[in-house]
Structure 1
Amino acid sequence: MQVRPGVETDLEALTDLYNHYVRETAITFDTVTFLPEERRPWLLSHPKDGPYRLLVAQERDSDTCPGRLLGYATSSPFRAKPAYSTSVEVSVYCAPDAAGRGIGTLLYKALIEALEGEDLHRAYAGIAQPNEASVRLHERFGFRHVGTYEEVGRKFGRYWDVAWYERPLGPRT
């Protein structure tokens, strides 16, 4: 398996993976699936370097076919106002049949290492509850629970809580 920056040729696989979570889970609060073209601006907002990254985990290529996309991790702007520029929101999504294989850990390790080299102070993650696997993953990387928004999102005819986690990045001031 390899971890690398996401590129435009990943767009269809990334969209398919994300749409699974839109249709089947409350992990994302999007409620309508996307076409790849609709996700292109999102992909392009994550360049190869800088604070807003998109890393993908892919099976190793064989001589006859490219490896399958197993998951991705992103860092995105936390909020739009300039004073938030040293904070990012991070997320990770794994292919449903790839859960429990260490892909999320591999992706977050690479993402956190990349972000440590940027002018960033904090990373935040919002985790729809319940999601023990995601809580464990974030805690393993030094995120700590800082609060919960109760019944903040409605999907599948019910309300969901979102627990917020934070982790320091870069030099401590």
Structure 2
Amino acid sequence: MRIRAAGAGDAAAIAEIYHPYVAETVITFEDEAPGAEAVGDRIEAAAGLYPWMVAEDEDGFILGYAYACAFRARSAYRFSVETTVYVRRGRSRRGVGSSLYRPLLAVLEAQGFAQAVAAISLPNDESVGFHERFGFVRTGTYAGVGWKLGRWIDVGLWQRPLAPAETPPREPRPLPDA
């Protein structure tokens, strides 16, 4: 398995992986799965500061992807990111997610981000266990904040420091070659 930065050429495969999560689960709160063009726009918009990564097999087939995005829009939040990982159906529990998260978190640390946050639709024991193995700890729950598939969904927040507490923190650096 090879992990590399995602690019516009990966958008169709990423959209394909994401589609069943949108259509069939409450894991994401999107109601309509974005197509390749919209995914490409998201990758492009993140370029320079927020990494997107893909895992591919020896034939170049995309097995999963992970990315970071702004945690919140206001300036004081700029030191924190939200992290996400999706693995192609039928490929979970084979190390794809872990192989993506290790370098994603390492890149975010190197960039100077201070905190990573994972928002997990509940219940989701698999995602909770996954994030806790990476040092995320539960910090709260938003009760009934999402309506999807005919029910209200709680969202749990898990958080992981990316850097020791500093005063003041350093400004996150852009990605190399951005």
What's the TM-score bracket when you normalise by the shorter of the two chains?
over 0.9
Aligned match of 1:134: 127
2:71 to 63, 71, 78: 78
- The CA RMSD measured in Å over matched residues stands at 1.1
Aligned match of 1:107: 100
2:51 counterpart of 1:34: no
2:53 to 13, 31, 55: 55
TM-superposed deviation, 1:16: 1.0
TM-superposed deviation, 1:124: 0.4
8 Å contact from structure 1 (residues 118, 170) kept in 2: no
Q: Normalising by structure 2, what TM-score?
A: 0.90
Supply the AA of the counterpart residue of 1:153: G
In structure 2, C-alpha distance between the alignment counterparts of 1:99 and 1:24, rounded to whole Å: 16
Q: Normalising by structure 1, what TM-score?
A: 0.92
- Kindly provide the CA deviation profile for residues 52-79 of structure 1, in whole angstroms up to 9, marking residues without a partner as x: 1101101113xxxxx2111111110011
Aligned match of 2:18: 18
8 Å contact from structure 1 (residues 19, 33) kept in 2: yes
8 Å contact from structure 1 (residues 117, 170) kept in 2: no
Structure 1, unaligned stretches of length 5 or more?
62-66
Aligned match of 2:173: none
- Kindly provide the CA deviation profile for residues 56-108 of structure 1, in whole angstroms up to 9, marking residues without a partner as x: 101113xxxxx211111111001111111100000100001101101111111
Q: Which has the higher contact order (CA 8 A, sep 6+)?
A: 2
8 Å contact from structure 1 (residues 124, 166) kept in 2: yes
* Structure 1 segments (4+ residues) deviating >4 Å: none
- Matched length: 166
- Kindly provide the CA deviation profile for residues 2-30 of structure 1, in whole angstroms up to 9, marking residues without a partner as x: 00000111010011111111011110000
